[in-house]
Structure formats: C-alpha cells, structure tokens
Structure 1
Amino acid sequence: MKFTKMMAGLLTFLLVSMAVLPAGASAAATKSLKEVCTITVDKTDLIVSDDYSKGSGYIQLQCDLKQVLYTDISSKAGNPAVVSTMDGIGGVTVKALRPGTSSVTVSANGYDPVQFNFTVADTGTSTGTPADNGSSTDPSSSTEYDPAYLLLLQQTQNYMAQLEKIIPYETKALDTYNKYRYVTSKTRKEAYYAFNGTIIPNYTKFLGSLKTVKTSNSFLAQNHNNYIKGVSLQLQGLTLMKKALYSSKINTNLYKQANAKIDAGRKLLDQYFKGIDKHMAQFE
C-alpha cells in the first residue's frame, strides 16, 4: 500500500463558506455525488494477492470542496468477506480478500451515492514480492535501507503522529460546523450556541495545538506554516460568523466578511495540501 494512503486519514480538511438562507428556505434537492466529484477507478477486476498492484484497486475522487468535504465521504463494501475498503484523502482503497463479487458504495451526506462492482479471482498462490536473498540487482531494492530515506520516513511519521493527536479537536469543530452550513432565522439561535459552545472552542484548541507541532524536516516545517496561517484565518472567519448570529437579525455584512476570511484561509490550506502531496510522492 502506498505510504500516502496509509497516512491520508491523519490529514485535515477545509472549511467551506456558510450560506445564509432566508426564513422558510430549504437546501437544494439532492444531487448525485458525481455532480460535485470527478470519480474514477483504476480497475475493478482483482485477484487475491499480497501484491498491491494486483490485489488492490483505487477509487479516486476529485471534489469541489465548496460543495463537499472529503471528511463527509465514506465507503462501504457490499460483501465485506470479498473486499475491504479504506477511506483516505481523495480516494478509497479496495483490497481483495477472497474470490467472489462485491459492490463498493461511495457516499456523502446530502448526495446520491455512487456504486462500483468488483470481481475477485483466486491465484492459488501469493504473487507478492519474494524476500530478498541477496541476489537482487535492482538498484531501487536498496531504497528502504538508504539512511537518508529512513530519516525522511521517520521525520514524516513523527510529524503525522503529532497531527493525529490533535485532529479530534478539528473533527469535532468541523462535524458541528457542517450541521449549520445553512442558517435561517429559525435556526439562528441554535447555530449561535453551536458556534459559541463547540465550534470555536474546539477550533481554537486545534489552532493552539497546531502551533506546538514540531519537525526537523525543513520542507515540512515551512509547509506547516501555511497550515497554521490558513487555520488562523478560518478561525477568524468562524468568530465573525458567531458575531453575525448574535442578534435576532442575522448580520449579513459580517457573514460576507466571515466568508472572505474562510476563502482566504482555504487558499493557504490548498497550498499546504499541495505541499503534502509533493512530499508524500517520495514514498510512492
């Protein structure tokens, strides 16, 4: 399995701008997930093998983050005895377990799911890479023993381990935030209490903890600064949203300012994620 997919679950996600609806308004009709995400699958015919290229498939998603967050996307195997699924940033890894057929459903709240059908065959024997007996002449086979590579791997794992410890603060804030992406005069008071009691306190703790994350890797350290700056701007936006909800009449001007802050933060977070993708590509 690629290192990027193993570590994907430890990364964070972007806030999307909140929409204010007039009283009595409702959210748009349900769309298909395909309307907001470009979804492709590399292969649906798998074999039972410990060779990743043969025994696993990958469903890739490129989504409009203004419409759906990667945290909202989940997958489920129709027959978990045949295949297993693992969700990650921008995709789902499907692993063959035993011969048979199984559907894999990719879904997100508020959108019609997308389904793929997988067929798994039995090879009878493992096709994984045999253990090195010392006779290999492939220069790349020595990569895992390269001290520089091992140091880079250790630095990355240490960095991700620190993020893993603080992600719950962000998750709690974003899960609550997503419940109030659409606010009306009827839900204003409830939304205000959610911002005041859950969203902002947890996102504040997340930002504070994010500032304590350290790494000896110069690229990760520099890229991490974009993370801090982006989250800081988004926290400013959330704070403005709370102020906009304080009075009985929602302050739409403050909401516009809040969304501008969140959009500015998103741009920095986009830079951060692109940097992470570039860094993680070294482990593919």
Structure 2
Amino acid sequence: MRSNSRPINRRTLFLSAAFAAFGVFSPFAADSSPNVYAAGVPSETRQKSPEQAAALQYADRLDEITSYANKAAEAFNAFKTVSASNRKSLYVALNNVIVPSYSKFYYELKRLDPPDGELAELHAHYLQGAALQLQGMQLIKKSLYAADINWTTYNQGQQKLKAGKKELTLFIEGFKAYKAARM
C-alpha cells in the first residue's frame, strides 16, 4: 500500500545552488594558505594570465546567475514532504516560483561562453545536469496537478533530479581540478 506522504529528496535537487557557498564559482579566490609563487608581491598588483582572467570572468558570470537557482532552492526547501495536504501549495510554488526561477537560471547558463575547450567540456556537464534537474522539477509539478498525486510521474521526476545531480557532481569535481591547475 502506498504512503500518502513522501519526503522530498533535497539532496538530488539544487546542487548548483550550493556551489557559490563553497567557492566553486571563484576559481582564483584567495584561500587561507599563502601563495607560494607570488611571495612578496601584493595580490592586487599581480597580473593574471589571459587564461586566468577569462576563467575568472566565466566564474563571475556564474556567480551572477546563481541567484535564480538559489531562489528556486529556497522555495523548494520550504516543503519537507509531499502529501495530499500540501500538494496544492507545492504545485503553486513549483508553478509560480521554482520552475520559472530555475528556467531563468538554465536560460542564462546556456548563454555563457566558456573561455577554453576544457572549461567548455565541464560547462556541458553543468548544462546537462541543470537540464535534467529542470525536467525533474517539471515532472514533479505535473505529478501534483491533479487532485490525486501521480506517484509514478513523481518518481520519474526524482530520477531526473538524481541523474542531474550526477552531471552536476562531474562539473564540481572537474571545476575544482581546473581551478587547482590554474592557481
């Protein structure tokens, strides 16, 4: 027998919203360790290579658009479970805030132009992950439209979110390596 309520698996959704909090989008931000190769040179006067400057510009642009993903995440995280009693309010949040905000984030993400081939490959993972997450949100929204929750569609949406998380994780790991190689 099916349960009338299911917890929302927040670990599979909005992974991208957490990136900014961990500095993933700032590949050349100063860390707590001293910069060995620039000892004695104030960081403000050090020149960035053209590659570093382009990557930093890309990261700054990512920082600018994460506000859309964060808005969607905050609205989604307000719900602990999906049930008949909160179906309608979650549907309204998905319809009016979550999906439109994440759609805007995805649109802006598609418009970004990575500065080099390696970053373009990573960006492709990010695009794929964000697209899968958006599809998952749309399926969850669809599952909540009728008076009775369509759990099959809901579970399909959760699977899309999980697949999106895998792609986003590939981006995070790759971006950290990209960042480390250019510090």
Q: 1:191 matched to which residue of 2?
A: 90
Q: 2:156 matched to which residue of 1?
A: 257
Separation in structure 1 between the aligned mates of residue 11 and residue 119 of structure 2, nearest angstrom: 24
Q: Residues 26 and 163 (structure 1 numbering): CA distance in 2 closer, same or farther, change over 3 Å?
A: closer
The equivalent position to 1:131 in structure 2, one of 40, 57, 72, is: 40
The equivalent position to 2:51 in structure 1, one of 145, 152, 156, is: 152
Contact 1:21 1:182 in 2 (8 A): no
1:172-225, Cα deviation, whole Å (9 max, x unpaired) = 011111122411111111000000000000111111111100122111111101
Q: 1:166 matched to which residue of 2?
A: 65
Q: 1:234 matched to which residue of 2?
A: 133
Q: Residues 26 and 262 (structure 1 numbering): CA distance in 2 closer, same or farther, change over 3 Å?
A: closer
**Residue 276 in structure 1 maps to residue 155 in structure 2:** no
Q: Secondary structure at the match of 1:190?
A: helix
Code of the residue aligned with 2:142 in structure 1: it is K
Code of the residue aligned with 1:131 in structure 2: it is G
1:1-284, aligned counterparts within 5 Å? 22=4, 65=11, 88=22, 131=40, 150-284=49-183
More strand by share: 1
Q: Residues 71 and 171 (structure 1 numbering): CA distance in 2 closer, same or farther, change over 3 Å?
A: closer
More helix by share: 2
Separation in structure 1 between the aligned mates of residue 139 and residue 171 of structure 2, nearest angstrom: 24
Shift in Å at residue 167 of structure 1?
A: 1.1
> Runs of 5+ in structure 1 lacking a partner?
1-19, 28-63, 73-86, 96-128, 133-143
TM-score, length-scaled by structure 2: 0.77
Q: Secondary structure at the match of 1:267?
A: helix
Q: CA RMSD in A?
A: 3.2
Q: Residues 156 and 248 (structure 1 numbering): CA distance in 2 closer, same or farther, change over 3 Å?
A: same
Contact 1:169 1:205 in 2 (8 A): yes
Contact 1:70 1:89 in 2 (8 A): no
Separation in structure 1 between the aligned mates of residue 60 and residue 39 of structure 2, nearest angstrom: 31
Q: Secondary structure at the match of 2:144?
A: helix
Q: Residues 216 and 71 (structure 1 numbering): CA distance in 2 closer, same or farther, change over 3 Å?
A: closer
Q: Residues 65 and 281 (structure 1 numbering): CA distance in 2 closer, same or farther, change over 3 Å?
A: farther
Rg larger in structure? 1
> Runs of 5+ in structure 2 lacking a partner?
25-29, 33-37
Code of the residue aligned with 2:109 in structure 1: it is L
Code of the residue aligned with 1:199 in structure 2: it is I
Ranked by relative contact order (alpha carbons within 8 Å, sequence separation 6 or more), the top structure is 2
Code of the residue aligned with 1:239 in structure 2: it is Q
1:108-138, Cα deviation, whole Å (9 max, x unpaired) = xxxxxxxxxxxxxxxxxxxxx8636xxxxxx
TM-score, length-scaled by structure 1: 0.51
Separation in structure 2 between the aligned mates of residue 218 and residue 166 of structure 1, nearest angstrom: 22
